């Protein structure tokens, strides 16, 4: 059985006439008729009832045509997938990103990606980092942005940018009069952090350990925006990644930079080493690196020094 024979069978079912089916397949009528008979011999059952005026499918023939259509549909999808691998810019890209980065980076990079790759279908997935890693390993994502380090030899990582952390304090706080502070000065304060599962929580805990600061155990936020609102409500202070401070400033919040070695996180684009899209993803990483580093080099919109 060959795909060509299935193509002839589908054409015969559509046209119910050997001559018209052969014309549609760009072959002679004897060739098509011979291939249908060969297919019947391979299957061991008749596919059509032949008469001088018309061609009718047998019950088995109708079932075979339905199966042949599904097979040819899958073959078409396979060919489109192969074409996408050869030229990823005309296919689709399933890209993952985590919640404490997505809202602050995507509005800047998505328009540039669409301008650079106008035929690319960009499918975005926002999940916590652990879920993104699982989806990437299972092939449900083509690539994802993650915070380094990424300990998986199966994954290729391309560094994009380093993002500093700033301290967000209420405008009424004593520190609000400062422009910057040393990291060890945090030892006198408690910080509000995100709930379990966010990579930013783990990064903030590292800062707490390095500075001697403590976590404010009475409150854990589900999002970065909740933390920002709680700071504005004079509930406490928190760490914000630099891109999250590029939104319009609030009069209720002051942002302080850290002196000398400021705490930060490194962001990378990650994909499976076995991916056929590797070369394209390297080019995409270069574009993302250029956009993000340019963005971080610009003066912020907030009131941090």
The 10s digit of each residue's pLDDT in 228-259 is 888 999 888 898 999 988 876 678 899 999 98
Number of domains comprising the chain:
3
Exposed/middle/buried for 47, CB within 10 Å: 0-12, 13-18, 19+? buried
Q: Which residue has the tokens 């106008």?
A: 118
- Three-state DSSP state, 20: helix
pLDDT above 70 for 51:
yes
- Which position has the higher pLDDT, 189 or 8? 8
**What are 127-179's pLDDT values in tens digits?**
999 999 999 988 889 899 999 999 899 899 999 999 999 999 999 898 888 88
Per-residue pLDDT, 17: 87
Q: Which residue has the higher pLDDT, 290 or 217?
A: 290
**Domain assignment of residue 25, yes or no:** yes
Pick 192 or 286 by higher pLDDT: 286
| Residue 300 pLDDT greater than 60, yes or no | no
Report residue 27 as tokens: 């072959």
Is the same domain home to 270 and 146? Answer: yes
| End-of-domain residue from the set 55, 86, 117 | 86
Residue 304 lies in a domain: no
For residue 8, is it within any domain? yes
Residue 122 belongs to domain spanning: 88-160+266-297
User: Which CATH number do you get for residue 151?
Assistant: 3.40.190.10
Is 305 part of any domain?
no
Looking up tokens 């998505």 gives: 110
Q: Which of 57, 86, 115 is the last residue of a domain?
A: 86
Contact assessment for residue 273 and residue 143, using Cβ atoms and an 8 Å cutoff: no
* 270 and 148 co-located in one domain: yes
pTM of the model: 0.71
Let me know whether 92 and 120 are in one domain: yes
Is the pLDDT reported for residue 261 higher than 90? Answer: no
Q: Is 126 exposed, middle or buried (0-12, 13-18, 19+ CB in 10 A)?
A: middle
Residue 49 lies in a domain: yes
Instruction: Tell me, yes or no, whether 106 and 131 share the same domain.
Output: yes
Domain membership flag for residue 302: no
b (16+ CB within 10 A) / e for 226-249: bbbebbeeeebbbbbbbbbbbeee
Q: What pLDDT is attached to residue 105?
A: 95
Whether residue 234 is contained in a domain is answered as: yes
pLDDT band at 305 (very low <50, low <70, confident <90, very high): very low
End position of a domain, from candidates 38, 57, 86: 86
Can you spell out the DSSP letters for 102-134? HHHHHHHHHHHHHHH-TT-EEEEEE--HHHHHH
Q: Are residues 101 and 154 in the same domain?
A: yes
- Which of the residue ranges 13-17, 38-42, 134-138, 248-252 would you say has the lowest mean pLDDT? 248-252
Residues 81 and 86: their CA atoms lie apart, in Å, by 9
In a domain, 26, yes or no: yes
Same-domain pairing of 278 and 135? yes
Token output for 286:
């270069």
Same domain, 106 and 141: yes
* Among 31, 42, 36, 28, residue whose Cα is nearest residue 10: 36
User: What's the pLDDT band for 186 if we cut at 50, 70, 90?
Assistant: confident
For residues 184-189, average pLDDT: 84
Same domain for 274 and 152? yes
Q: Are residue 79 and residue 66 in the same domain, yes or no?
A: yes
CA 103 from centre of chain: 14
Contact 242, 163 (CB under 8 A): yes
* Per-residue pLDDT, 193: 86
Tell me the per-residue pLDDT of 55-103, one tens digit each, with 9 for 90 and over: 889 999 999 999 999 898 888 777 767 776 777 787 889 999 999 999 9
* Helix (H), strand (E), coil (C) string for 25-45: HCCCHHHHHHHHHHHHHHHCC
Q: What is the pLDDT of residue 124?
A: 97
Assess whether 70 and 113 both reside in one domain. Answer: no
DSSP 175: G
My answer on whether 192 and 278 are in the same domain is no
Average pLDDT over residues 273-299: 89
Asked whether residue 152 falls in the same domain as residue 278, the answer is: yes
Evaluate whether 256 touches 236 at the Cβ level (below 8 Å).
Answer: no
Taking each helix axis as running N to C, give the angle between helix 29-43 and helix 18-25, from 0 to 180 degrees, rounded to the nearest 10: 100
pLDDT of 298 reads: 67
Higher pLDDT, 105 or 300: 105
Residues above pLDDT 90, as percent of the chain: 48
pLDDT of residue 301: 45
Q: Residue 194: pLDDT band by 50, 70, 90 thresholds?
A: confident
302 has a pLDDT exceeding 60: no
Q: What is the CATH number of the domain that holds 37?
A: 1.10.10.10
Above 90 in pLDDT, residue 110? yes
Of 188, 304, 207, 185, the C-alpha closest to 250 is: 304
């Amino acid at each position: 059985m060959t795909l060509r024979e299935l193509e002839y069978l589908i054409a015969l079912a559509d046209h119910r006439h050997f001559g018209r089916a052969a014309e549609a397949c760009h072959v002679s009528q004897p060739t098509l008729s011979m291939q249908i008979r060969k297919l019947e011999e391979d299957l061991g059952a008749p596919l059509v009832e032949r008469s001088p005026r018309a061609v009718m499918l047998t019950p088995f023939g109708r079932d075979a045509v339905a199966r042949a259509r599904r097979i040819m549909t899958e073959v078409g999808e396979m060919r489109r997938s192969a074409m996408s691998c050869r030229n990823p810019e005309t296919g689709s890209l399933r890209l993952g990103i985590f919640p404490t980065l997505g809202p602050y980076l995507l509005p800047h990079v998505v328009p540039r990606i669409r301008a650079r790759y106008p035929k690319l279908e960009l499918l975005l997935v926002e999940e916590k980092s652990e879920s993104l890693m699982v989806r990437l390993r299972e092939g449900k994502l083509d690539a994802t942005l993650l915070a380094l380090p990424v300990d998986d030899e199966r994954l290729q990582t391309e560094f994009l940018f380093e993002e500093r952390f700033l301290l967000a304090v209420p405008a009424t706080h004593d520190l609000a009069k400062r422009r910057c502070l040393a990291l060890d000065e945090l030892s006198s304060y408690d910080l509000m952090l995100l709930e379990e599962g966010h990579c930013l929580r783990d990064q903030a805990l590292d800062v707490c350990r390095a500075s001697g600061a403590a976590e404010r155990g009475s409150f854990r936020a589900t999002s970065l925006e909740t933390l920002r609102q709680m700071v504005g409500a004079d509930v406490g202070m928190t760490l914000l990644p630099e891109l999250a401070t590029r939104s319009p400033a609030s009069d209720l919040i002051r942002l302080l930079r850290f002196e000398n070695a400021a705490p930060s996180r490194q962001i990378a684009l990650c994909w499976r080493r076995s991916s056929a899209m590797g070369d394209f993803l390297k080019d995409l990483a270069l574009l993302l690196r250029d956009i993000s580093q340019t963005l971080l080099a610009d003066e912020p919109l907030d009131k941090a020094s």
